[in-house]
């Protein structure tokens, strides 16, 4: 919520709006949860770069 309020001239009005409308509050909570999941996954994910042809990539048969 604090992150969102920084974009407005009157942050307290933004906070009041979201807390006064349950649907809007649920939307903000969902966005926040999604961001937390992405942060967790990207911080613990490991990746390997490999070069594939377009055909290998879309075929689903690549065994890398």
pLDDT tens digits, 2-33:
666 667 788 888 888 888 999 989 998 999 99
pLDDT at 30: 96
Q: Is 11 exposed, middle or buried (0-12, 13-18, 19+ CB in 10 A)?
A: middle
The average pLDDT across 32-40 equals: 96
Domain housing 30: 2-59
**Count of structural domains within the chain:** 1
pLDDT at 38: 96
Is 45 inside any structural domain?
yes
Give a yes or no: residue 64 inside a domain. no
pLDDT score at 60: 80
* Per-residue pLDDT, 56: 87
Query: Rounded to an integer, what distance in angstroms lies between the CA atom of residue 46 and that of residue 25?
Result: 34
Cα distance between residue 19 and residue 26, in whole Å? 10
| Whole-structure pTM value | 0.54
């Amino acid at each position: 919520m604090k992150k969102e309020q920084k974009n407005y001239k009157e942050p307290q009005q933004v906070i009041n709006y979201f807390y006064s409308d349950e649907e809007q509050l649920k939307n903000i909570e969902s966005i926040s949860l999604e961001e937390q999941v992405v942060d967790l996954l990207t911080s613990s994910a490991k990746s390997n770069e490999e070069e594939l042809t377009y055909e290998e990539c879309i075929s689903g048969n690549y065994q890398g």
